[in-house]
Amino acid sequence: MSDLPPVRVRFAPSPTGRMHLGSARTALYCYLLARRTAGTFILRIEDTDRKRYVEGAEQELIDGLHWLGLNYDEGPDIGGPSGPYRQTERRAIYQKWADKLVEDGHAFHCFCTAERLEQVRQEQQKNKQNPRYDGTCRSIPLSEAKKRVAAGEKHVIRFKMPTEGETRAVDVMRGEITWQNKDLDDTVLLKSDGLPTYHLAAMTDDYEMRITHVIRGSEWLSTFPVHVNVIRALGWPEPTWMHLSVFLKPSGKGKMSKREAADAIKDGHSIFVMDLKDLGYTPEGVLNWIVLMGWGVAEDDVMTLDQMVERFSINNLNPSPAAINFTKLDHFNGTHIRLMSTEELAGRIKPFFERAGYSVDEGILLKLTPLIRERLVTLDDSIPFGGFFFQPTVSPAAADLIAKDLTPAQSAEVARRSLDILSKLPDLSHASAEPPMRQYVEESGLQPNQVFGILRVAVTGQKVSPPLFESMEIIGREKVLERVQNAIKLLESL
């Protein structure tokens, strides 16, 4: 099935905000690689940054993954053999490895106060130097540091970055990268609250959870050398690394700002996964859209999740930035809607009708679904095209009942003749109603859109609707005749 043995991959979001497209794509690639290799997909919640913690964010991530169908094998809500899967529940593990780094001389206690570090930073800025730790506590003998820690002095643990030589590491998408160690900082691994930073926590968990492939955002490239140094200092096996491309705003110029994200929503789009659900996008459409933002496929680009699994390969991942193109989202969403069976699509649009306040009759729902399918970009588009089917009455605007180039009186005459024809038919099926109405159009010398336009507005209450005769069949004889009568009255009153 795949040239790789079963992988263990993790999606490791921080619950610091809403789940956006970037996280969804990372999760998707992790999922694809896991399923492709019959491996394991893990959800790990990286919640050690308590200042940025957002209540409810973890649930939104879980809901987003479930909605997209990216089901994980181990995670905080389902457990698993490598748990716990929330980092705040793993404190003792990080402390143990931080202590080992200190004992082995790869890390040190740092007692510098925030004020002193700020002074150093300002000084460095003034001298046009890169801001970094100035090494003050590096040389404190361990025995002395331990005494100070035992006496309760506030401290952090910093990694003792090698000061000479270079660090090399490989990202499979980007090749080998080299850093000069003199440019690297003594990064904080354990904070004064006893919680680890990402740099210790993620590396530790990747080791403890036996992660084979780390797929993460390219914002981690700058601290990548820290991570490989930590891993090497601990003598752990190194995973295969992939830093995914960044997403740019639709113009391709820069990353999406908060304001632009809000503007997208006004426009009927969003970069947040659960908004896309509410807007009527399908998981199939969203997945197909994001999978291609960074993964090159040769031919047919319309794929279900299972087809992506069959075709996925990390060799085709592309590190170039990808601009968010909502037109493509609309394209993929409409395409996947048209691939659904009537029953499937009916089930998907039903909640949208209900949300709009309609009480949904299943029989009508199943009949109208094929009529509107072709026109849908989102599931929510069902409402303007199909909502009237569930209304007991319609209230067309008088002006809409007047056909182009006809007076109200002439339009009323068309409606009367139509009523005459339709009321004589035994039923109003598409097959019975269309031929006599077409014959009338021909004999009258009117344009089809004049006659059918009046009829459409009369029976559906709106100028745009699914095909007229199919719609009349669903609405039913009694209601159709009653609505045409009402339209005649309205036109005659003008």
CB 41 within 8 A of CB 30: yes
Residue 479 catalytic? no
Q: C-beta of 12: minimal distance to ligand GLU in Å? A: 4
Compare residues 206 and 473 and give the one whose CB is closer to ligand GLU.
206
Distance CA 207, CA 417 (A): 80
CA–CA–CA angle 138, 234, 164 (5° rounding): 45
Which of 193, 157, 159, 195 shows the shortest CA–CA distance to 46?
Answer: 195
Compare residues 20 and 375 and give the one whose CB is closer to ligand GLU.
20
Give burial (CB, 10 Å; 0-12/13-18/19+) of 341.
exposed
Distance CA 132, CA 140 (A): 18
DSSP state of 316: G
Question: Which residues bind to ligand GLU, rule: CB under 6 A?
Answer: 12-14, 46, 202, 216-217, 220
Q: C-beta of 258: minimal distance to ligand GLU in Å? A: 17
Q: C-beta of 317: minimal distance to ligand GLU in Å? A: 15
Compare residues 217 and 384 and give the one whose CB is closer to ligand GLU.
217
Distance CA 372, CA 224 (A): 51
Give burial (CB, 10 Å; 0-12/13-18/19+) of 42.
buried
Compare residues 145 and 203 and give the one whose CB is closer to ligand GLU.
203
Measured CA to CA in angstroms, residue 376 lies from 85, 332, 344, 369, 453 at distances of: 40, 11, 14, 10, 22
Compare residues 202 and 309 and give the one whose CB is closer to ligand GLU.
202
Distance CA 192, CA 182 (A): 26
Distance CA 280, CA 274 (A): 10
Distance CA 416, CA 193 (A): 82
From the candidates 258, 266, 404, 424, give the one annotated as an active-site residue.
258
Q: C-beta of 14: minimal distance to ligand GLU in Å? A: 4
Place of tokens 């660090």: 167
Compare residues 157 and 202 and give the one whose CB is closer to ligand GLU.
202
Distance CA 459, CA 469 (A): 10
3-state secondary structure (DSSP) of residue 272 = strand
Give just the sign of the alpha carbon dihedral 129, 131, 136, 138. Answer: negative
Q: C-beta of 16: minimal distance to ligand GLU in Å? A: 7
Q: C-beta of 216: minimal distance to ligand GLU in Å? A: 3
Compare residues 52 and 96 and give the one whose CB is closer to ligand GLU.
52
DSSP state of 20: B
Q: C-beta of 217: minimal distance to ligand GLU in Å? A: 6
Q: Which residues are catalytic?
A: 258
